[in-house]
Amino acid sequence: MTTRSLFWFRRDLRLADNPALLDALSAADETLLLFIMDNDVAERAGPYRRAYLSDSLARLDESVGGKLAVVSGSHAQVLRDLSQRYGITSIHAAREFAPYGVAAEREIAAAGIAVEYTGSSYAIAPGRVRKPDDTNYRVYTPFFRAWQNHGWRGPAAAPSNPQFVELEGSERNLPTWPTPAGVDIQEAGEKAALARWSAFKVEGLSEYDEQRNIPGVAGTSRLSPHLRWGEIHPRTLLAGLNQRTAHEIFRKEIAWREFYADVLHHNPHTSRDYYAPAFAAMRYDQPGAKFQAWCDGMTGYPIVDAAMRQLREEGWMHNRARMVVASFLVKDLHIEWQHGAEHFMKYLIDNDVASNSHGWQWTAGCGTDASPYYRVFNPIEQGRRFDPDGNYIKRFVPELSHLSAPDIHTPWDVLDGHLHDYPQPIVNHALERLESLARLAEIKASKEPNPHQPA
Ligand SMILES: Cc1cc2nc3c(=O)[nH]c(=O)nc-3n(C[C@H](O)[C@H](O)[C@H](O)COP(=O)(O)OP(=O)(O)OC[C@H]3O[C@@H](n4cnc5c(N)ncnc54)[C@H](O)[C@@H]3O)c2cc1C
């Protein structure tokens, strides 16, 4: 009799370099391929992410000859139901470490369903890199060294002659969520991920150290959506790197992703809460009209607006720009980082709770070895330094395309700066910087020992 295993695709929508899939294939004569659609999550994900996921699943389905089952429901219920109907003898998947994935694994275990977990979407699974005293790292640089010394496996082989279960019909519910009008989302899928990586190795990697901070050039890999959905594994990327400076810096960026996953694994509350709790006591402003201007790319600060419009137009934003807009929200508008993180999660196709929450907390000064709170990004200087010719601004803020650098960074200083209705700055950066430092001083003062109380 033909034996059947089940492979549950999670954040690993690929065939190559997928050890859990190889396990499933070797466990039985044929393997049922499953993606579980959580309709609540899909609803919350918003149209950008839904469109990307739809595209990714369609391409995965194509690569397995139309044999991908997409089934909605609770994890335990779907796994149990399919196991019974298809006579499954073992279920295989990769582990997840963010709160949602961990909760799903608990739900399945509580229902008494056995799943064999192999690997994760990291080169080294969160929780595995430990300090000599067996505690977890809180600072990136020593983590990076230990992570590098720990090492990782090489990429796993692609499956050869895999046998997939022919579906009975009702399980083929591939979503068909369209890309929102006017939005340009990059192509999803394993093939696109591998092609992007190959092209970046030839065209971008050797200059990565010099180009990665310039949002106006294609100087970074844009692999983040592929990594987020597991269309490529970081092992595959790491295996293609050598010891040259640019390669080393790229490896360090991969390690940031691993570091933040490790930090979130040990501190799951920090997906929404402050890593440094003292910052919860700071005075913040409620999101109102200024927050909306930030979301809409209408703050009157060109680099901030270009970045926020890139997010809306592409579902992605350059890393330098993410830091600039995050600093602006927290330190110029005095709004809590969670509001910004939530807005990012609504639009980013690479949304990753660990990198997002901790990227925000780093910029806001309340995260692990964060940029100190008193270091406030100056949006004008950031524009001049990292978009010297104004190419990034011109691309996303057409109201300023008639200006050249350096005027494009300070349109309020030139006569025709607001010719095409570009808004005036919604705040005065110099004053807001002082305001944010004053608010920092308040929480610092409240932490100082009370002289009236005995030590
Ligand atoms: C406020 C804020 C929010 C962020 N939110 C996310 C998010 O939701 N999802 C996400 O993947 N990244 C996030 N990042 C990190 C970073 O901005 C993106 O990973 C990067 O811009 C992706 O572009 P890329 O693939 O071209 O990166 P590259 O420069 O080509 O880097 C290669 C890979 O390294 C990893 N990486 C690079 N920089 C970082 C970083 N600072 N932190 C963690 N991983 C990094 C990513 O996986 C990236 O794909 C955030 C950063 C900030 C400051």
Q: Residue ranges per domain, the chain? A: 4-120, 122-154+190-266, 277-447
Q: At what angle do helices 302-314 and 289-296 cross, to 10 degrees?
A: 70
**Residue 14 CA, ligand 1 centroid: distance in Å:** 21
- What whole-number distance in Å separates Cα of residue 396 and Cα of residue 71? 39
Tokens, residue 353: 């709770």
Ligand 1 within 6 A of CB of 351: yes
Predicted TM-score (pTM) of this structure: 0.96
pLDDT on residue 450? 41
Residue nearest to atom 29 of ligand 1 (CA): 220
Selection from 351, 327, 345, 340 nearest residue 287 by Cα: 340
pLDDT on residue 453? 39
Would you call the peptide bond into 178 cis, given omega within 30 degrees of 0 as the criterion?
no
**Residue 252 CA, ligand 1 centroid: distance in Å:** 11
pLDDT on residue 447? 65
**Count of beta carbons in the 10 Å neighbourhood of residue 248:** 14
- What whole-number distance in Å separates Cα of residue 98 and Cα of residue 369? 21
From first to last of the 455 residues of the chain, give the pLDDT tens digit: 899 999 999 999 999 999 999 999 999 999 999 999 999 999 999 999 999 999 999 999 999 999 999 999 999 999 999 999 999 999 999 999 999 999 999 999 999 999 999 999 999 999 999 999 999 999 999 999 999 999 999 999 999 999 999 998 788 899 999 999 999 999 999 999 999 999 999 999 999 999 999 999 999 999 999 999 999 999 999 999 999 999 999 999 999 999 999 999 999 999 999 999 999 999 999 999 999 999 999 999 999 999 999 999 999 999 999 999 999 999 999 999 999 999 999 999 999 999 999 999 999 999 997 678 888 999 999 999 999 999 999 999 999 999 999 999 999 999 999 999 999 999 999 999 999 999 999 998 876 544 343 33
pLDDT on residue 448? 54
Let me know: does 317 contact 310? Beta carbons within 8 Å.
Answer: yes
**Residue 351 CA, ligand 1 centroid: distance in Å:** 9
What superfamily does domain 4-120 belong to in CATH? HUPs (3.40.50.620)
- Residue owning tokens 């595995």: 128
Q: At what angle do helices 190-203 and 39-63 cross, to 10 degrees?
A: 80
- Residue owning tokens 């609770």: 74
Closest approach atom of ligand 1 to CA 228: 11
Q: Which three-class secondary structure state does DSSP give residue 8?
A: strand
- Residue owning tokens 């080294």: 124
**Count of beta carbons in the 10 Å neighbourhood of residue 385:** 14
Ligand 1 within 6 A of CB of 201: no
Phi and psi at residue 372, to the nearest 5°:
-60, 145
Closest approach atom of ligand 1 to CA 362: 53
Ligand 1 within 6 A of CB of 270: no
pLDDT on residue 455? 32
Ligand 1 within 6 A of CB of 307: no
**Residue 61 CA, ligand 1 centroid: distance in Å:** 27
Probe ligand 1: pick from 224, 310, 330, max atoms within 8 Å of CB? Answer: 224
pLDDT on residue 375? 86
Check: CATH 1.25.40.80 for 122-154+190-266?
A: yes
**Residue 319 CA, ligand 1 centroid: distance in Å:** 6
Ligand 1 within 6 A of CB of 356: yes
Residue nearest to atom 36 of ligand 1 (CA): 253
Closest approach atom of ligand 1 to CA 212: 29
Check: CATH 1.10.579.10 for 277-447?
A: yes
Selection from 257, 250, 338, 325 nearest residue 293 by Cα: 325
**Residue 355 CA, ligand 1 centroid: distance in Å:** 7
